[in-house]
């Protein structure tokens, strides 16, 4: 049984479930289980129940193949943020304490290695092993002073390079491990999240630009989602995390939802909304990971 199936079977948080009003809506019968990060950190089952919580605000997070959670902890007083891998019971398997102002994102890139991005006087991307040793240090180009706006959700690519959204600089760059920029795309808004697709195009969430774009290697926009695709409704408003599903659909999080705006929205390639999650009693979702659809685990590595 896969971790996300175990999760829904109830083997989490000591078997205690947290009831919540129905929040998922879909005319297509879609129901997702997902991990949400932000002011609250929790997992919702495809039956709309909160089945796991973590008692800290987070900036990014993953459910790992072994069922553990990799979480980027928000910074606080005398604490520059950090990264933890925890079991579903809350036992810490790995911990990294930030050395600058904030830790913005993390990714497990091997069983014994993590990618970690820090904002501060020297914004950087690190590769750290399970013993806390720094194996790679990549210093980033940035004119920004706000550590939370220097770096978005960094991801390591299959070619060994790093795809780095830099919100305040309004650019997405691809860096080599030696710090050379081999590709970049200027954006109209602050890019929070960028994904390299299997066809080598890049999907970018431009938060303040109120759009999500797909661009080719030349920088040409090949697909664009805006609020006009929702009849002008304010669905894309400081949207943050995005995830491309195996069926080609796109899910995005709105970090500042209004009363009529869902926290999570799924659209197909034709830009039609096919699923939403809206829970007014919970804060905005910063990033997320869709875990399963209608109880069936998603195949492959999450593209998020």
Q: What CATH number is associated with residue 94?
A: 2.120.10.30
CB atoms within 10 A of CB 253: 28
SS3 228: helix
Domain contains 39: yes
- Whole-number pLDDT of residue 233: 74
Nearby residues of 110 by Cβ (< 8 Å), 6 or more positions away: none
Domain contains 148: yes
Domain contains 153: yes
Q: What tokens does 179 get?
A: 């710090």
- Whole-number pLDDT of residue 256: 63
SS3 185: strand
Domain contains 69: yes
Number of Cα atoms under 13 Å in the Cβ half of residue 110: 9
Q: What is the number of domains present in the chain?
A: 1
Domain contains 17: no
Domain contains 304: no
- Whole-number pLDDT of residue 237: 72
Domain contains 291: yes
Residue 164, domain extent: 3-12+22-297
237/255 Cα distance (integer angstroms): 7
50/45 Cα distance (integer angstroms): 6
171/35 Cα distance (integer angstroms): 27
pTM over 0.75: yes
- Whole-number pLDDT of residue 22: 62
Domain contains 86: yes
Q: Are strands 82-86 and 92-97 parallel, antiparallel or unpaired?
A: antiparallel
Instruction: Write out the chain's pLDDT in tens, 304 residues.
Output: 444 443 433 333 333 334 445 699 999 999 999 999 999 999 999 999 999 999 999 999 999 999 999 999 998 888 889 999 999 999 999 999 999 999 999 999 999 999 999 999 999 999 999 998 999 999 998 988 888 899 999 999 999 999 999 999 999 999 999 999 999 999 999 999 999 999 999 999 998 889 999 999 999 999 999 989 988 677 787 778 999 999 999 999 986 655 556 899 999 999 999 999 988 777 889 999 999 999 999 999 999 9
């Amino acid at each position: 049984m896969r971790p996300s199936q175990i999760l829904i079977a109830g083997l989490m948080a000591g078997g205690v479930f947290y009831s919540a009003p129905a929040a998922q809506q879909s005319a297509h019968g879609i129901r997702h289980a997902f991990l949400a990060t932000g002011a609250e950190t929790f997992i919702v089952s495809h039956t709309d129940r909160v089945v796991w919580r973590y008692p800290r605000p987070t900036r990014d997070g993953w459910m790992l193949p072994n069922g553990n959670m990799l979480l980027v902890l928000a910074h606080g007083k005398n604490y520059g943020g950090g990264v933890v891998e925890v079991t579903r019971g809350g036992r810490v398997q790995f911990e990294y304490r930030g050395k600058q102002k904030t830790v913005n994102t993390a990714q497990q890139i091997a069983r014994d290695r993590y990618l970690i991005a820090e904002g501060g006087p020297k914004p950087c991307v690190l590769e750290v092993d399970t013993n806390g040793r720094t194996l790679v240090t990549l210093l980033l180009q940035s004119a920004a002073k706000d550590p939370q706006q220097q770096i978005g959700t960094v991801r390591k690519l299959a070619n060994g390079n790093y795809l780095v959204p830099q919100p305040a600089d309004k650019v997405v760059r691809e860096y080599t491990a030696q710090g050379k920029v081999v590709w970049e795309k200027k954006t109209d808004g602050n890019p929070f999240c960028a994904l390299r697709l299997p066809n080598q195009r890049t999907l970018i969430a431009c938060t303040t630009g109120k759009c999500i774009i797909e661009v080719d290697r030349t920088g040409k926009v090949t697909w664009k989602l805006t609020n006009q695709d929702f009849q002008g409704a304010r669905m894309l408003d400081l949207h943050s995390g995005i995830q491309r599903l195996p069926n080609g659909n796109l899910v995005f999080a709105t970090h500042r939802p209004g009363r009529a705006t869902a926290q999570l929205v799924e659209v197909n390639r034709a830009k039609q909304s096919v699923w939403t999650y809206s829970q007014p009693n919970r804060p905005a979702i910063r990033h997320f990971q869709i875990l399963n659809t209608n109880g069936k685990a998603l195949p492959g590595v999450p593209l998020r």
